[in-house]
Amino acid sequence: MDWNTIISNTVRSGLTQQAIIFALAAIGLNLHFGYTGLLNFGQVAFMAAGAYGVGITTSYFDAPLWVGMLVGIGAGIVLALLLGIPTLRLRADYLAIVTIAVGEIIRLSVRAARYSWLTGGSNGINGFSNDFQNWNPLNNGQEYGFRLFGRLNLEFTGADLWEILVGWTVVVLGVLLMWKLVRSPWGRVLKSIREDEDAATSLGKNTFNFKMQSLILGGTFGTLAGIYFAVQQNSVQPDNYATQQTFFALTAAILGGLATIWGPVLGAMLFWMVLSFVENLLIQLINAGIMPDWLMTRSQVGPVRFMLVGLTLMALMIWRPQGILGDKREIAIDVRK
Amino acid sequence: MSPPSTRQRPLMIVLIALVVTTLFGATARAQGDDQSEGVQTTLRVTPSEAGADKYPIEGVEIIVYEATIENREIQSVGDQVGTGVSDAEGYVFVPVPEPGPYAVEINLDTLPEGVELVRADKQQLPVEARIGQPTTVIFNLADSDVATAARGKESDSLLTRGTRLTFEGLIFGITIGLCAVGLSLIYGTTGLVNFAHGELIVFGAIMAYVFNSIVGLDLIWSTVLAVAVGGLFGSTLDLVLWRPLRRRGIGLTAMMIVSIGLALFLRFLFLFRFGERSRPYDDYAVQTEPFFSVGPVDVLPKEFVIILVGGAILVGVGLALQYTKMGKAMRAVSDSNDLAASTGIDVNRVVSAVWFAGGALAALGAIFFGLNSQISWLMGQQLLLLVFAAVTLGGLGTFFGATVGSLIIGVLTFLSTLVAAPELKNVGALFIMIVILMVRPQGIFGRRERIG
């Protein structure tokens, strides 16, 4: 058992690209669910809108990467309007079903062979964001080593380090924006909608508009997650946008603490650290022959990790809906009266 | 449809333990087992003379390639894996190195004079080779004049194709309906939007597979057992999870998210034990001879059974809800938990019965689906959204709405292939759901108050 590898891999996955992607998606879900009480189960639709926005603009229309990013954000806003107009007047669980359906509509459409001239079908779109690495001030190929607590070694290539630095910068800017917003009068209206929409309406607030603004802004964080995912991978794959991604991000947000500023970020980091820890531990147990073959083989480690996610989500919702940082009184687990 | 009472609980636990050990023990064995995988086919030709038997042909070459398959269509073809030539019985067996997707091609140059493939686009067939046993493919061969006549049928008018698709859609609608009724009843009685209903579907499908392919029972008996076990699974979930949560007074949104967690857990548990591959049932999956024909529609025996049994059960559930004591109690609980309780109805018992019915019906729907397609750990997730679409269309929480909504969604899904690519047929159904929510959010048969 090589505990040093297990722990350094664990720490690493809390800091790297996947944690960043899920932090961004979870910040958006937190604005929707944590602050406004909107059940958006289709955050992955926003991610796909962003990712395909960049991919299609840069590869099919040959536009520069920054134009692609703007188009991606625009696509997310349009999607929020399309989703919100029919559903925001309805009860919360209708929004949940419609958003999950739209996520699946988008995934099935972009992977269809019929539209592969535009979206690349099930192969997706590849090799469109080389510019991002060209903007890298660091040396792409060079290894940068860090030593934590005197014994944990973390090494990143220049390319990775650039992606990570840009990603966390976006996350921190997003968190600062959220911090400003939820303390503003606007943020207080959102919370009042979460607590009692009728009361907010009776105070003269146009709750539909506020909910729409929340949907757009939270969706934009999902879009940013998708854009970052696409640019960093230099690739868009339709099956990365399956419905369960939303639920993983939701688990991360609940784990950290809904209706808190740092909760989603902490949750996303912990989510990937736990997944990585379990994976590394199980693989080492299998390699060392401690885990018997009939119980688990190497290809079964993946599913076990996600079974754990499901159990975590259940346990959190039953015993600790406020997660690590949250306040139980602020959790909108009973939006539907 | 009677709920397992407290007295039956020990029996239930024994049954569940049996199922769990079967599921875990048996699939593990299936994974370790590794013998004669391969593709087999028997080449037989439909002759010109009416009423004559099919005759075998010898010396025809069959070639097997590596391939990727999606939705039972070949996506890409890779290296050649092996070839074989048919014997005097028309039989060919081509071994393959490992289970998985392959493309099977018939070499048209080796066909005797006057024999043709009925559909020229079916020269390559997709196949998922199974573990440890030959997997069968069928090439539809006929004498030239018969083949030409049959081909005329393929390029039929829009009306004829529409009729056939409507028929297939109705069958699919019955399949979804069986799953939707449970979802709708659970919603009606407990207010829970059960995102784990898709996993009840997969559970039923897998249980039938275990009884059929691993224990070796006939699929009919496997279905009976799987439906019973599926019902027990439903009421067990209610007993160990949902009832304690209701007692704690947990919110409906929280329950919905718990059901998502449960769905993720079960889905990946099925992947963990059952693997990634799709599998067909051993019995009745391949049928080519119609039982009878109505106009342009050839009704296969299995399709006849699905319509008969599925339809009868849906009607039966509807009548039971209307006229039996338990059915009336279910509707009373749907209308108001508190009022029902105050008239002396044991709400927990009713809800337990609803979960039993939900699990059993979902299992039956899943097996019907598996007969026409294949079963996999992902099928629940794919069906669930269509089930949601059906239930939303008909009106959440009502039996009649769920059934009619399912039939409409089933037919529309299949009819959409007239204009859209088949791979996009689910998109149409989901799209319809969103449109319905825009114009009539309570669904066709729903009551206004339910949209809240």
What digits encode the pLDDT tens for the residues A252-311? Answer: 999 999 999 999 999 999 999 999 999 999 999 999 888 888 888 888 899 999 999 999
In A, minimum Cα distance to B267 occurs at A307
pLDDT of residue B14: 56
* Number of domains chain A contains: 1
Q: What is the mean pLDDT of residues A118-127?
A: 89
* Strands ordered across the beta sheet of B115-117: B55-56, B44-46, B141-143, B115-117
Reply yes or no on whether the pLDDT at B33 is more than 50.
Answer: no
- Structural domain includes residue A150: no
- Structural domain includes residue A148: no
- Structural domain includes residue A121: yes
B381 in reach of chain A (CB within 8 A): yes
CATH number at residue A90: 1.10.3470
Q: How confident is the model at residue B374 (pLDDT cuts 50, 70, 90)?
A: confident
Exposure on the CB side of residue B171, measured as CA atoms within 13 A: 22
> B385 and A100: CB-CB below 8 Å?
yes
Does this complex have an ipTM over 0.85? yes
Give the 3-state secondary structure of residue B75: strand
> A309 and B264: CB-CB below 8 Å?
yes
> A310 and B263: CB-CB below 8 Å?
yes
In B, minimum Cα distance to A123 occurs at B75
Between B240 and B12, name the one with better pLDDT: B240
**Alpha carbons A119 and B8: distance in angstroms, whole number:** 56
Q: Which of B193, B245, B261 lies at the smallest CB-CB distance from A93?
A: B193
Percent of chain B with pLDDT over 70: 87
The dihedral formed by the CA atoms of B125, B134, A303 and B210, expressed in degrees to the nearest 10: 120
> A247 and B264: CB-CB below 8 Å?
yes
> B252 and A314: CB-CB below 8 Å?
no
User: How far A20 CA sits from the closest chain B CA (Å)?
Assistant: 22
B268 in reach of chain A (CB within 8 A): yes
Q: Is B295 left (phi over 0), alpha (psi -120 to 50) or beta?
A: left
Q: How confident is the model at residue B449 (pLDDT cuts 50, 70, 90)?
A: low
pTM of the model: 0.82
> What secondary structure letter does DSSP report for B54?
P
Reply yes or no on whether the pLDDT at A96 is more than 80.
Answer: yes
Residues B354, B185 contacting (CB under 8 angstroms): yes
Between A28 and B23, name the one with better pLDDT: A28
Question: What proportions of chain B, in percent to the nearest 5, are helix, strand and coil?
Answer: 60, 15, 25
In B, minimum Cα distance to A298 occurs at B272
pLDDT of residue A334: 59
Sequence-distant (≥ 6) Cβ neighbours of residue B388 within 8 angstroms:
A97, A100, A101, B183, B433
Q: Which of A92, A310, A334 lies at the smallest CB-CB distance from B261?
A: A310
- Structural domain includes residue A337: no
Reply yes or no on whether the pLDDT at B2 is more than 60.
Answer: no
Reply yes or no on whether the pLDDT at B17 is more than 70.
Answer: no
- Structural domain includes residue A285: yes
What digits encode the pLDDT tens for the residues B257-287? Answer: 999 999 999 999 999 988 888 888 888 777 7
pLDDT of residue B29: 40
Q: Report which of B336, B317, B334, B325 is spatially closest to residue B400, judged by C-alpha positions.
A: B317
pLDDT of residue B71: 62
User: How far A44 CA sits from the closest chain B CA (Å)?
Assistant: 15
Between B98 and B224, name the one with better pLDDT: B224
> DSSP labels for B341-365?
HHTT--HHHHHHHHHHHHHHHHHHH
User: How far A70 CA sits from the closest chain B CA (Å)?
Assistant: 27
Tokens of B390: 């059906």
Q: Which of A101, A102, A314 lies at the smallest CB-CB distance from B261?
A: A314
pLDDT of residue B421: 79
Mutating which of A241, A333, A335, A337 best tests the B interface, going by the most B Cβ atoms within 10 A? A333
Dihedral sign for Cα atoms in the order B243, B247, B253, B257? negative
Q: How confident is the model at residue B444 (pLDDT cuts 50, 70, 90)?
A: confident
Q: Which helix (H) or strand (E) holds B10?
A: helix B9-32
Give the 3-state secondary structure of residue A235: strand
Q: Report which of B228, B206, B229 is spatially closest to residue B367, judged by C-alpha positions.
A: B206
> A92 and B253: CB-CB below 8 Å?
yes
> A333 and B253: CB-CB below 8 Å?
yes
Between B50 and A60, name the one with better pLDDT: A60
Exposure on the CB side of residue A303, measured as CA atoms within 13 A: 19
Q: What is the mean pLDDT of residues B207-231?
A: 94
Tokens of B448: 């206004």
* Strands ordered across the beta sheet of B124-129: B73-85, B61-70, B100-106, B124-129
Q: What is the mean pLDDT of residues B2-27?
A: 53
Mutating which of A40, A105, A116, A296 best tests the B interface, going by the most B Cβ atoms within 10 A? A105
Which phi and psi angles does A155 have, rounded to 5°? -120, 135
Chain B residue numbers with beta carbons less than 8 Å from the beta carbon of A313 are 257-258, 260-261, 264
B434 in reach of chain A (CB within 8 A): yes
> A113 and B267: CB-CB below 8 Å?
no
Between A139 and B180, name the one with better pLDDT: B180
Chain A residue numbers with beta carbons less than 8 Å from the beta carbon of B70 are 122
Reply yes or no on whether the pLDDT at B52 is more than 80.
Answer: no
Chain A residue numbers with beta carbons less than 8 Å from the beta carbon of B256 are 39, 93, 96
- The boundaries of the domain holding residue A48 are 3-143+156-330
Chain B residue numbers with beta carbons less than 8 Å from the beta carbon of A108 are 423-424, 426-427
Sketch the domain layout of chain B as residue ranges. 6-24+158-451, 38-154
In A, minimum Cα distance to B452 occurs at A91
What digits encode the pLDDT tens for the residues A136-194? Answer: 998 888 888 888 777 788 889 999 999 999 999 999 999 999 999 999 999 999 999 99
- β B100-106/B124-129 pair status: antiparallel
User: How far A296 CA sits from the closest chain B CA (Å)?
Assistant: 9
B339 in reach of chain A (CB within 8 A): no
Q: What is the mean pLDDT of residues A82-106?
A: 87
Dihedral sign for Cα atoms in the order A243, A246, A248, A254? negative
What digits encode the pLDDT tens for the residues A186-220? Answer: 999 999 999 888 999 999 999 999 999 999 999 99
Q: Which of B260, B434, B441 lies at the smallest CB-CB distance from A101?
A: B434
Is there a common fold for B6-24+158-451 and B38-154? no
What digits encode the pLDDT tens for the residues A27-36? Answer: 999 999 999 9
Reply yes or no on whether the pLDDT at B194 is more than 80.
Answer: yes
Mutating which of A44, A118, A251, A318 best tests the B interface, going by the most B Cβ atoms within 10 A? A318
Q: What is the mean pLDDT of chain A?
A: 92
Fold of B38-154: Immunoglobulin-like (2.60.40)
Q: Output b/e per residue, A71-102; b: 16+ Cβ within 10 A.
A: bbbbbbbebbeebbebbbebbbbbbbbbbbbb
Report the alpha-carbon angle B109-B115-B120, nearest 5.
70
Reply yes or no on whether the pLDDT at B357 is more than 80.
Answer: yes
Tokens of B352: 């337990």
Tokens of A172: 């921190």
Residues A46, A324 contacting (CB under 8 angstroms): no
- Structural domain includes residue A247: yes
Q: Which of B193, B251, B385 lies at the smallest CB-CB distance from A333?
A: B251
Fold of B6-24+158-451: ABC transporter involved in vitamin B12 uptake, BtuC (1.10.3470)
Q: Which of A87, A244, A336 lies at the smallest CB-CB distance from B252?
A: A336
Dihedral sign for Cα atoms in the order B264, A82, B397, A321? positive
Chain B residue numbers with beta carbons less than 8 Å from the beta carbon of A122 are 70, 75
pLDDT of residue B177: 96
- Structural domain includes residue A149: no
B36 in reach of chain A (CB within 8 A): no
- Within 10 angstroms of residue A179's Cβ, the number of other Cβ atoms is 13
Q: What is the mean pLDDT of residues B84-100?
A: 85
> What secondary structure letter does DSSP report for A13?
H
